[in-house]
């Protein structure tokens, strides 16, 4: 009897899931970008790998997170802004036929403190060239006013020269998602890149409604993934009664949440409306979980060790890097050298690097 009842529960859940999937398909407009679950599961692994602090393993794509769905990734440039504790990479995923750019989230000692600060962030910078668009200065500068941007643009230019006009996918988690957003917009508006896809995980709000409208016009292929009660997407706060003065997310949110009973739990991926602030998505629940912030699709999105901006590098890799006056480090690979060659060169300590 007991078993029979469980079967009924399972059957009910499946029906429920099918109903939801059906409804989701109908909601998608003809030429609106379609949310791709498979791609989300791949990109979240890139957003996770960029947190790794062993630069040799990351550069050679042999780290513990450089596996699974990202196997075969060809790193082109790994950029570490030591001064501002930022990290990003550019490379090519042949299976996606795309250049992938990933930004690391905050590496501060206490993620709790970082999050608490987010409550008070002001819209304190006019987005250049747009009279009504306001953004958060700190997030803007992390991308626009550090070593990161200059190095990335150079690497992307190198990559498109070598691989042709492939797609460009930009990703990041938390503050890395905020930087990824500014990067995608920069590429679209200032560098004429047409085929950009942006997918971020648990990112905070970065600008006001005027900025969000401008953003979604220029980077339409954007999915902003949120998870259950993750509190970062709720910050800095959105004030419903002050639409012109408040932070406002750009679309399109995809909210991950669980349904089910006991051990029968399923994750629903709810594709939200085009407002950016769909009240039936993550805004329908309280943002009160740090744990939900640190894991998306079961993938860990944080540094493997907590603590400051630690990097680990062995001397063999020094041939591939250059340190600038600000103490920033850029490791780059000649695209004509295969990753296998790169690996064996580094392991044998050869100096025939580009």
Ligand X SMILES: *[C@@H]1O[C@H](CO)[C@@H](O)[C@H](O)[C@H]1NC(C)=O
- Whether the CB-CB separation of 89 and 77 falls below 8 Å is answered with yes
Of the pair 37, 245, the CB lying nearest ligand X is at 37
Helix (H, G, I), strand (E, B) or coil at 322: strand
| Residue 31 binds to ligand X (criterion: CB under 6 A) | no
| Residue 44 binds to ligand X (criterion: CB under 6 A) | no
Classify strands 196-201 and 167-173 as parallel, antiparallel or unpaired. parallel
293 is a catalytic site residue: yes
Angle (CA) 244 248 252, round 5°: 135
| Residue 141 binds to ligand X (criterion: CB under 6 A) | yes
In angstroms, what is the minimal distance from the CB of 93 to ligand X? 9
Among residues 81, 186, 230, 292, the one annotated as catalytic is 230
Among residues 48, 174, 282, 295, the one annotated as catalytic is 174
3-state SS of the chain: helix, strand, coil percent to 5? Answer: 40, 25, 40
Sole window of 32-40, 190-198, 239-247, 256-264 interacting with ligand X (rule: CB under 6 A): 32-40
Cα-atom radius of gyration of the chain, to the nearest Å? 21
332 is a catalytic site residue: no
| Residue 83 binds to ligand X (criterion: CB under 6 A) | no
Residues 125-159 as b or e (16 or more Cβ within 10 Å = b): bebeeeeebbbbbbbbebbbebbbbebbbebbebb
Count of chain residues binding ligand X (CB under 6 A): 6
Applying CB under 6 A, which of residues 13, 32, 39, 210 lies at the interface with ligand X?
Answer: 39
Applying CB under 6 A, which of residues 113, 122, 145, 306 lies at the interface with ligand X?
Answer: 145
SS3 sequence, 234-264?
Answer: HCCCCCCCCCCCCECCCCCEEEEEEEEECCE
137 is a catalytic site residue: no
Of the pair 144, 229, the CB lying nearest ligand X is at 144
Of the pair 96, 198, the CB lying nearest ligand X is at 96
| Residue 36 binds to ligand X (criterion: CB under 6 A) | yes
Sole window of 34-42, 48-56, 107-115, 220-228 interacting with ligand X (rule: CB under 6 A): 34-42
Which of 175, 191, 212, 211 lies closest to 87, judged by CA?
175
| Residue 38 binds to ligand X (criterion: CB under 6 A) | yes
In angstroms, what is the minimal distance from the CB of 234 to ligand X? 26
- Whether the CB-CB separation of 69 and 85 falls below 8 Å is answered with no
In angstroms, what is the minimal distance from the CB of 124 to ligand X? 10
- Whether the CB-CB separation of 88 and 156 falls below 8 Å is answered with no
In angstroms, what is the minimal distance from the CB of 38 to ligand X? 4
Q: Which residues are catalytic?
A: 174, 230, 293
- Which residues bind to ligand X, rule: CB under 6 A? 36, 38-39, 96, 141, 145
């Amino acid at each position: 009897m007991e078993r029979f009842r469980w079967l009924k529960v399972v059957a009910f859940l499946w029906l429920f899931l099918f109903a939801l999937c059906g409804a989701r398909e109908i909601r998608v407009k003809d030429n609106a970008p379609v949310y791709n679950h498979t791609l989300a599961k791949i990109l979240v692994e890139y957003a996770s790998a960029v947190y790794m602090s062993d630069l040799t393993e990351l550069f050679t794509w042999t780290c513990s997170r450089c596996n699974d769905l990202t196997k075969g990734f060809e790193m082109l440039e790994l950029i570490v802004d030591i001064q501002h504790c930022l990290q990003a990479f550019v490379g090519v995923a042949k299976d996606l036929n795309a250049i992938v750019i990933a930004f690391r989230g905050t590496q501060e000692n206490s993620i709790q403190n970082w999050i608490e600060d987010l409550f008070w962030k002001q819209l304190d910078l006019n987005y250049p060239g747009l009279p009504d668009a306001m953004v958060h200065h700190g997030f803007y500068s992390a991308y626009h006013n550090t070593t990161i941007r200059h190095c990335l643009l150079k690497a992307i230019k190198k990559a498109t020269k070598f691989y042709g006009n492939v797609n460009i996918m930009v990703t990041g988690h938390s503050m890395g998602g905020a930087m990824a957003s500014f990067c995608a917009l920069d590429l679209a508006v200032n560098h004429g890149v047409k085929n950009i896809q942006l997918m971020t995980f648990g990112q905070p709000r970065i600008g006001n409604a005027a900025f969000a409208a401008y953003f979604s016009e220029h980077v339409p292929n954007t999915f902003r993934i949120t998870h259950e009660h993750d509190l970062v997407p709720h910050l800095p706060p959105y004030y419903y009664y002050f639409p012109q003065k408040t932070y406002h997310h750009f679309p399109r949110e995809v909210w991950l949440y669980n349904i089910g009973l006991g051990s029968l739990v399923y994750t629903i991926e709810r594709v939200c409306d085009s407002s950016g602030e769909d009240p039936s998505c993550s805004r329908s629940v309280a943002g009160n979980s740090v744990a939900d912030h640190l894991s998306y699709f079961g993938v860990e999105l944080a540094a493997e060790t907590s603590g400051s901006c630690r990097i680990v590098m062995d001397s063999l890799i020094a041939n591939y890097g250059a340190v600038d006056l600000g103490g920033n480090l850029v490791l780059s690979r000649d695209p004509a050298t295969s990753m296998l060659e790169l690996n064996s060169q580094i392991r044998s300590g050869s100096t025939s690097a580009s």
